[in-house]
């Protein structure tokens, strides 16, 4: 499978399963939910990651579980057009 196809499948899955259903992942550390929108997902897809195919696979199959169980390390606000990035660590 080529990467462009994987990108489309990942975006479609997140759009249908998380964005359209207004899914949120509550995190005690900051007393709020992680919510999903398509501009945030596109930003996520374009960010550096050790293995691009693994990131797409995570978006397609395990994002909710990964966010719910990851260790919270902090928050950063690097860009004007981005509300901020949560820094989470997952095995």
* Three-state secondary structure of the chain: CCHHHHHHHHHHHHHHHHHCCCCEEEEHHHCEEEECCHHHHHHHHHCCCCCHHHHHHHHHHCHHHHHHHCEEEEEECCCCCCCCEEEEECC
Q: How confident is the model at residue 83 (pLDDT cuts 50, 70, 90)?
A: confident
pLDDT in tens, 21-60: 999 999 998 888 999 999 888 888 887 767 888 889 999 9
pLDDT of residue 86: 82
What range does the domain containing 56 cover? 3-89
- pLDDT averaged over the chain? 88
Q: Is the pLDDT of residue 1 over 80?
A: no
């Amino acid at each position: 499978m080529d990467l462009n196809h994987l990108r489309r499948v990942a975006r479609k899955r997140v759009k249908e399963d998380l964005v359209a259903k207004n899914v949120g992942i509550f995190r005690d550390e900051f007393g709020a939910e992680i919510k999903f929108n398509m501009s945030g997902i596109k930003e996520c897809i374009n960010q550096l990651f050790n293995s691009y195919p693994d990131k797409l696979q995570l978006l397609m199959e395990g994002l909710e579980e990964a966010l719910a169980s990851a260790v919270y390390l902090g928050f950063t606000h690097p860009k004007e057009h981005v509300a901020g990035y949560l820094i989470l660590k997952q095995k």
